[in-house]
Structure 1
């Protein structure tokens, strides 16, 4: 299977995108030229993407005021049986902001399409606008916006954060479930020390929610519950040095809930040296801190991350439902305008929950020609009826160059054999995972490298034993090391080594004398004998009383005789320069006739 791609271009730069949570074929995008009077309009568009032909259709569009700012953030709510609501960050006009009236949160409604075949597209209209921030800073705008995932019969909560404000804030509000009273109801306002890098919100129980946000180096949580007033709590601070060994703190860039227990963060390493995905286990007790549960370094090609989106491929049916075994699809955008795709597994064994196996399954290189401004994965729910048709999760990305790309990631069914099966109960339910094979780093290279290292160690050990004379020659190390190394060992070892390197009879007899049980009583004698081969040298070993004509020890020979003997022995192959003179100790030599300086006995 492969990833299919759809693309289109619009008439304005795009800054935000989000899928309809009830219909993955619907994508809402927004952006524009702002209030700069460049002639580029500010718009919100509804696009329709088909699985059959992978075509993106321009369904509806609403042009916004050119006196106001462009769409900077966007979220979509679609309660079952109700119209689509689009929440967007749009700053009021500069004149209104100077008066302290910046209605930055807008709500738009999309009228559902008629079942009858009609050429009239669904209409997009503005339903309301609100001011949730207290800041009077004219540079402030609504940079971040998130809604809790929808559950049937439960209300959603939204959170938005300011950007470029001297007094950073996070506003919490209730998401309306109809298109009549569209203005969201404020639920709380958090005043922060630093501007948040990212945030997310998740529903944990009936009317209970959990907010998580981060600045560059700290991770915070905040419980949202009626009747409960709590301050945000810092649960993790980035250490001064990451496990990568790079000095300086990695900085949080993006943050998303996986489950109420785990969050996933993309952090940029210092000096544009890379990106790391970090999974955190949130504390169960107020006094505890978050713990790092997973860490994965992204490829070196992605010097910095610009965004991230995450989608559970087996979402729970209710806020309080247990998260079982499931897989998450993860997409990280980089400054190189590429998208890096990962899968991440959540496993539940008894009461223990784990996040494991963060593996890449693809890289979408150079998706856009200009900066990627937003990325989103479509919601996915298993089909109500069993089907053989391939299921997809869609990945949308937009850029400042007006381009929209949608990638169709194929899924496949799996049945967990370890899932409990009750007698007489329903069969094990299948779940969906990404159909593309994960690019798991094979252990083959590590095994081969380890085998090579072990082989080299074995060769070195064998060579050492051979040099010491403690092993029969296998690698013949004595041929590659100076004999002086060998002679530094025990004399027996030296003679053994010498006997293997020089095959003359002298060395053979010396080896027999040193190693034999009675060799000490048989001196080695070297004589000049014209009848003993072409070099005229005779080497014998005999008892003291059968040593023959008088001979002298090496130390008793004059220098001229020693020099002459060394040359004769070298030519005959009995001795080598690298052996030194120590091997002649205990050997008797007859005098060479005609050598100047010979002593007459």
Structure 2
């Protein structure tokens, strides 16, 4: 977990299936759930939680619902001046359903308690039922298990005069799936507020849906089934309750490709959830078949024709299946750029938080960047994940717009107070966890700067660090290989030789390393380069004679060790033709033909130059021949010809 992120946790007396933040982000979370119909001891409730404090969660209002009816399955809220109008999906009793009456759409009025600064004797808020209705078509089957599984509202716009919103609901477990779009400007929408009804092709169940604001009184509704994504745009006149649909029916903007003919047709991934990033881009959550993983994909929508997938990312391998998705779009700058926060809940009770940046000039998104990964968030499976909305705060006036004759008067702050978004997750195990994520201005020097969760400077550092380690790890592995191959070589020489060729020459001519026979053809190539020349080649003093003996094919060559006062006192030449050398130097002598004085002198010189050590013994020198070569007649030591 990011060190700046704080979280709070609480346990309620009922399993939680639905959650929704205050649309104006005033620090309240509404949750609902329960034990359902006829389950003794487990209540059906809607609770209002105060999550303003980053370390604690407190219940400020609640309502007990009938235990003769189903539990709360979905929630969404409209903001009022001092509270909320909350819509909920609650099925009527089974008796009423059998009679063909299911008032599944409920509405509640929530009154917030006064904050601590306005503390009064009445500290608790209130939740009151406002009404109930049925928006789905009546079900002919007496034993129908249809319920209102999905409920979404268009985003709230924080304006002085408020904003007009629409909503959409969809069935679950229905024999014939249905989606209803409705006018959400009334406290209890009825049949007269229905904008349109949609029956998905083939009766496929709607996996998820979302609503976006595309313009003034213009909205876009997108929904997905297992293998398809659909979209329809509505221009709605709220006063006349008239709608213009574009197109007349929902258009399929994407179909999951069928697998190859040799594969199982059921091996296609399935859509699990989707959310609008803006009115022209949606992010979809997919689950691969056989619990083999999950993906996030971004699709760009066009006015006509199919959508195009513009980005794809696999979720971490520990997420075999994902269960929930939500998005929070942060504020934009003058150029239209913005950052969005994407949260995903996995079936392994983990949560992944990502950020993604949108550039208006190119109409493109950056790659997903991981911001936080949390595991074992709840004791049992999560049922819902939701992010609070973010509204750009009112900026304080800058110093230039505040003329004052009082020089001691404090200047207005460049930015408002700390800004946060919150992430709530709920579970079957009655638990609620709220993470508070701190935002920061993109440009602290600009008082009108947009806010980000992940700063580009941090992202740049992450990329640099990744590149650095991507280079360092192979370099370290190469160093270790050289260390075990050539333990006698100095550290400086080893480091220079593992560098890339262009970089290596910046440090001067690299020092050839000893050749080890056991390393195959690559080493054999190095050995061949040593002995290929017909001209005697000097071998650097850092190599021992024992190393040169291991060169493949060395039995056809000869080593000449001669006196070299200009360097280390000893030099080694490689001769490709031993017989020609013997014919040229008839006075050559073998090692056993040398006097003890000459042997001792050459041992001293070879040790001083690093070609030979006492522990190797004379076995390395046996078979060597001497000659009065290169003007060394009469000196204490002569030349050595080492026969290989």
TM-score tier by shorter-chain length is 0.7 to 0.9
Kept in 1, the 8 Å contact 2:170–2:180? The answer is: yes
The residue aligned with 1:230 is 248
Equivalence map 1:242-257=2 (5 Å): 248-257=267-276
The residue aligned with 1:166 is 175
Q: What's the TM-score once normalised by structure 1's chain length?
A: 0.73
Q: Structure 2 vs 1, CA of residues 402 and 526 (structure 1 numbering), >3 Å: closer, same or farther?
A: same
Alignment partner of 1:143 out of 129, 146, 149: 149
Kept in 2, the 8 Å contact 1:346–1:353? The answer is: yes
For structure 1, list consecutive stretches of 5 or more residues without a partner in the other structure.
317-321, 418-426, 463-470, 538-568, 575-601
Q: Using the TM superposition, give the Cα deviation of residue 157 of structure 1 relative to its aligned residue in structure 2, in angstroms.
A: 0.8
Kept in 1, the 8 Å contact 2:131–2:188? The answer is: no
Q: Confirm whether residue 382 of structure 1 aligns to residue 392 of structure 2.
A: yes
Q: Confirm whether residue 363 of structure 1 aligns to residue 373 of structure 2.
A: yes
Q: Aligned equivalents of 2:366 and 2:499: distance in 1?
A: 41
Q: Using the TM superposition, give the Cα deviation of residue 375 of structure 1 relative to its aligned residue in structure 2, in angstroms.
A: 1.6
The residue aligned with 1:554 is none
The residue aligned with 1:34 is 36
Q: Deviation digits for residues 158-178 of structure 1, max 9, x if unmatched?
A: 01111111111111111024x
Q: Confirm whether residue 265 of structure 1 aligns to residue 284 of structure 2.
A: yes
Q: Aligned equivalents of 2:350 and 2:520: distance in 1?
A: 58
Equivalence map 1:178-197=2 (5 Å): 179=187, 185-192=193-200, 193=202, 194-197=204-207
The residue aligned with 2:566 is none
Three-state SS of the structure 2 residue aligned to 1:95 is helix
Q: Confirm whether residue 343 of structure 1 aligns to residue 364 of structure 2.
A: no
The residue aligned with 2:543 is none
Q: Aligned equivalents of 2:444 and 2:336: distance in 1?
A: 11
Three-state SS of the structure 1 residue aligned to 2:27 is strand
Kept in 1, the 8 Å contact 2:355–2:454? The answer is: no
Matched pairs, number: 508
Kept in 1, the 8 Å contact 2:591–2:622? The answer is: no
Q: Using the TM superposition, give the Cα deviation of residue 108 of structure 1 relative to its aligned residue in structure 2, in angstroms.
A: 1.2
Q: Deviation digits for residues 379-417 of structure 1, max 9, x if unmatched?
A: 222322445632211111111121111111111112399
Kept in 2, the 8 Å contact 1:504–1:573? The answer is: no
Q: Structure 2 vs 1, CA of residues 498 and 145 (structure 1 numbering), >3 Å: closer, same or farther?
A: same
The residue aligned with 2:424 is 396
The residue aligned with 2:628 is none
Kept in 2, the 8 Å contact 1:499–1:508? The answer is: no
Q: Structure 2 vs 1, CA of residues 528 and 149 (structure 1 numbering), >3 Å: closer, same or farther?
A: closer
Equivalence map 1:122-141=2 (5 Å): 122-134=125-137, 135-137=139-141, 138-141=144-147
The residue aligned with 1:407 is 435
The residue aligned with 2:641 is none
Q: Aligned equivalents of 1:432 and 1:345: distance in 2?
A: 12
Q: Deviation digits for residues 223-256 of structure 1, max 9, x if unmatched?
A: 22313362211212233569xx999433221211
Q: Structure 2 vs 1, CA of residues 186 and 342 (structure 1 numbering), >3 Å: closer, same or farther?
A: same
The residue aligned with 1:307 is 324
Kept in 2, the 8 Å contact 1:396–1:407? The answer is: yes
Q: Aligned equivalents of 2:30 and 2:520: distance in 1?
A: 79
Q: Structure 2 vs 1, CA of residues 11 and 139 (structure 1 numbering), >3 Å: closer, same or farther?
A: same
Q: Aligned equivalents of 1:174 and 1:119: distance in 2?
A: 34
Q: Structure 2 vs 1, CA of residues 3 and 573 (structure 1 numbering), >3 Å: closer, same or farther?
A: same
Q: What's the TM-score once normalised by structure 2's chain length?
A: 0.69
Q: Structure 2 vs 1, CA of residues 224 and 477 (structure 1 numbering), >3 Å: closer, same or farther?
A: same
Q: Using the TM superposition, give the Cα deviation of residue 117 of structure 1 relative to its aligned residue in structure 2, in angstroms.
A: 2.6
Q: Aligned equivalents of 1:113 and 1:523: distance in 2?
A: 106
Backbone CA RMSD of aligned residues: 4.3
Kept in 2, the 8 Å contact 1:209–1:223? The answer is: yes
The residue aligned with 1:477 is 515
Kept in 2, the 8 Å contact 1:504–1:572? The answer is: no
Q: Structure 2 vs 1, CA of residues 17 and 323 (structure 1 numbering), >3 Å: closer, same or farther?
A: farther
The residue aligned with 1:443 is 467
Q: Aligned equivalents of 1:40 and 1:345: distance in 2?
A: 44
Three-state SS of the structure 2 residue aligned to 1:267 is strand
For structure 2, list consecutive stretches of 5 or more residues without a partner in the other structure.
236-242, 397-414, 483-495, 501-508, 540-547, 561-572, 595-619, 626-644
Q: Confirm whether residue 572 of structure 1 aligns to residue 636 of structure 2.
A: no
Q: Using the TM superposition, give the Cα deviation of residue 85 of structure 1 relative to its aligned residue in structure 2, in angstroms.
A: 1.0
Q: Using the TM superposition, give the Cα deviation of residue 74 of structure 1 relative to its aligned residue in structure 2, in angstroms.
A: 0.6
Which one is further off, 194-203 or 216-225? 216-225
Q: Aligned equivalents of 1:67 and 1:46: distance in 2?
A: 22
The residue aligned with 1:593 is none
Q: Confirm whether residue 121 of structure 1 aligns to residue 124 of structure 2.
A: yes
Looking at CA atoms only, which structure, 1 or 2, has the larger radius of gyration? 1
Q: Aligned equivalents of 1:296 and 1:507: distance in 2?
A: 62
Q: Structure 2 vs 1, CA of residues 44 and 506 (structure 1 numbering), >3 Å: closer, same or farther?
A: closer
Kept in 2, the 8 Å contact 1:105–1:130? The answer is: yes
Three-state SS of the structure 1 residue aligned to 2:233 is strand
Three-state SS of the structure 1 residue aligned to 2:318 is coil
The residue aligned with 2:599 is none
Equivalence map 1:278-293=2 (5 Å): 278-283=297-302, 285-287=303-305, 289-293=306-310
Q: Aligned equivalents of 2:124 and 2:4: distance in 1?
A: 32
Q: Aligned equivalents of 2:382 and 2:286: distance in 1?
A: 17
Three-state SS of the structure 1 residue aligned to 2:70 is coil
Q: Deviation digits for residues 109-168 of structure 1, max 9, x if unmatched?
A: 124557783416332122222222224451111111100012345421101111111111
